[in-house]
Amino acid sequence: MLSTMQDVPLTVTRILLHGMTIHGSSQVTTWTGESEPRRRSFAEIGERATRLAAALRDGLGVTGDERVATLMWNNSEHVEAYFAIPSMGAVLHTLNLRLPAEQLVWIVKHAADRVLLVNGSLLPLLVPLLPHLPTVEHVVVSGVGDRGPLDEAAGTAVQVHEYEELIADRPAVFDWPELDERAAAAMCYTSGTTGDPKGVVYSHRSIYLHSMQVNMAESMGLTDKDTSLVVVPQFHVNAWGLPHATFMTGVNMLMPDRFLQAAPLAEMIERERPTHAAAVPTIWQGLLAEVTAHPRDLSSMARVTIGGAACPPALMEAYDKLGVRLCAAWGMTETSPLGTMSNPPAGLTAEEEWPYRVTQGRFPAGVEARLAGPAGDILPWDGESAGELEVRGPWIAGAYFGGVDAEPVRPADKFSDDGWLRTGDVGVVSPDGYLTLTDRAKDVIKSGGEWISSVALENALMAHPEVAEAAVVAVPDDRWGERPLATVVLKEGATADYASLREFLAGKIAKWQLPERWAVVEAVPKTSVGKFDKKVIRRWYADGELDVTEL
């Protein structure tokens, strides 16, 4: 028996049309570093997205599912591209501007990007790459920046266009195609920390359903009364789905553009009064140091979604004192990224909520999860049995982009035989569905046949009042196979020594897990998306570049 319901495709186009009409007065505010930010209503964003689609199709000849790349900061023009490109049937390809040059070149070639939208301030990054991007035929430049070097590098092979001039005379109407909801809408590449980057292609359907879940009360729960400070880059898993989700519900967006340092972020929070924000822990650690040294009013920002890496409990406690509640989330490029959020169950006191808040959170409807043991056996959700997290659902990848005209790729180390995504994260799940990650499978320390969680050691160390950051990696040990090496960044004026740091850990970590090897570093190396880059620390150790003290 079939239902009697209408079969209307779930597409990005419908999100765009809803946002620009029903929530047309909501705003995207772009920080400019000047006295007044740039403001555009959703209605204006929608009209400009419509004209951009016409320019891409009629002016630049973009047809079908061709890839249109963006090398842009978080700003209103990037939001316009977010909607114009998928809605016209093309594929939005956001480029991670923090990747090494050789990876960016590889990614653009692999995706066969033909058109590239770029902010003028990023031309110094693009220009040296352009001669190595044979598929790129058009470069569209938005905002301030010296075009001279670009024109010279482009030569006759690439046409250069001004964004505003390109869309200025285009019609404010567009014959939006009726798309298959399973068609490609956007794509992101993983950061390629091991091997070549891998392309994840999101469908219109997956984006639509993911946007609905982002807006659920058990997730971010935002409404048109909110303003979200979107610090997480638009090239990082679609800015965690916020641009699409906000157009569904009319949430105002505050976009920082290139002003991502702690001081301008503190200023825009105080001036623009956002109620919500989203970024990785390193952003909030930097902001905390800034407002500690130079107090600012953060009282409007009641809620913060924090993800991309484990959130140290000490950071949560520090922001609690400022009246800002950090809510940890877990996800990855392959999960769109919403996988869990650590909203505690109802009816608990603040003290009773704490054990839930320091987890990665609970799985929402739409994300199925299981834990696989070393032998592939499925483990119980008892809060004790640790295994690799595997997930599946309508916004979770089932394969990687294989390249133009190539079949999708499903590596055995990334997908189980029955199609579940192998996340590479090791953890436990409580009986009521709260996930606690203990480590990445590649980062867990295997000492004498037992596992030591590098994340637990890092969180405990970062609770020390004189420690700014800490990263722990496994290093070879003749007796135990592997032992932890603790690298710490001390706060200015700190006097703590290794013995006192080890003593500080003693009451929080089992004695056999305490590190013997210690080193101070100026800064913990980060990946392009702000995670600790532990392979760099391991290389430093192997090459003898660290001044290691053994206790």
SS3 302: coil
pLDDT per residue as tens digits for the range 455-486: 889 989 999 999 999 999 999 998 888 999 99
Phi, psi of 191 (to 5 degrees): -75, -5
Catalytic-labelled residue, pool 47, 77, 334, 390: 334
Cis peptide before 337 (omega within 30 of 0): yes
What is the pLDDT confidence band of residue 411, given thresholds at 50, 70 and 90? very high
pLDDT at residue 452 is higher than 90: no
**H-helix or E-strand containing 285?**
helix 281-293
Active site residue 190: yes
Alpha helix stretches (DSSP H) within 144-261: 148-154, 163-168, 204-215, 237-240, 242-249
pLDDT at residue 245 is higher than 70: yes
For residue 510, the model assigns a pLDDT of 82
Q: What is the rounded distance in angstroms from the CA atom of residue 447 to the CA atom of residue 260?
A: 39
Share of the chain above pLDDT 70, in %: 99
Return the residue matching tokens 């630049």.
60
For residue 200, the model assigns a pLDDT of 98
Q: Rounded to the nearest 10 degrees, what angle do helices 262-272 and 281-293 cross at?
A: 80
Mean confidence (pLDDT) of the chain: 94
What is the pLDDT confidence band of residue 375, given thresholds at 50, 70 and 90? confident
Residues 305 and 277 sit within 8 Å (Cβ to Cβ): yes
For residue 252, the model assigns a pLDDT of 98
Active site residue 446: yes
Active site residue 223: no
Rg of the chain (C-alpha set): 24
Least confident piece of the model among 102-116, 201-215, 331-345, 524-538: 524-538
pLDDT per residue as tens digits for the range 263-303: 999 999 999 999 999 999 989 999 999 999 999 999 999 99
pLDDT at residue 529 is higher than 80: no
For residue 34, the model assigns a pLDDT of 87
For residue 192, the model assigns a pLDDT of 59
Share of the chain above pLDDT 90, in %: 86
pLDDT at residue 509 is higher than 90: no
Active site residue 334: yes
Which neighbouring-strand residues pair with 162? 141
pLDDT at residue 449 is higher than 80: no
Phi, psi of 423 (to 5 degrees): -75, -25
Residue 142: burial class (beta carbons within 10 Å; 0-12, 13-18, 19+): buried
For residue 193, the model assigns a pLDDT of 56
pLDDT per residue as tens digits for the range 134-150: 999 999 999 999 999 99
What is the pLDDT confidence band of residue 387, given thresholds at 50, 70 and 90? very high
- Output the 3-class SS for 79-143: HHHHHHHHHCCCEEEECCCCCCHHHHHHHHHHHCCCEEEEEHHHHHHHCCCHHHCCCCCEEEEEC
Catalytic-labelled residue, pool 152, 292, 384, 446: 446
User: Phi-psi region for residue 33, left (φ > 0), alpha (ψ -120 to 50) or beta?
Assistant: left
User: Phi-psi region for residue 454, left (φ > 0), alpha (ψ -120 to 50) or beta?
Assistant: alpha
Catalytic-labelled residue, pool 106, 176, 381, 451: 451
For residue 85, the model assigns a pLDDT of 98
Give the other-Cβ count within 10 Å of 241's Cβ: 27
Domains of the chain with bracketed CATH: 12-203 (3.40.50.12780), 348-437 (2.30.38.10), 443-550 (3.30.300.30)
Helices and strands counted in the chain (H then E)? 17, 27
For residue 194, the model assigns a pLDDT of 58
Count how many residues are written for the chain.
Answer: 551
For residue 196, the model assigns a pLDDT of 83
Cβ-based neighbours of 308, under 8 Å, separated by 6 or more: 232, 236, 279, 280, 281, 529, 530, 531
User: Phi-psi region for residue 250, left (φ > 0), alpha (ψ -120 to 50) or beta?
Assistant: left
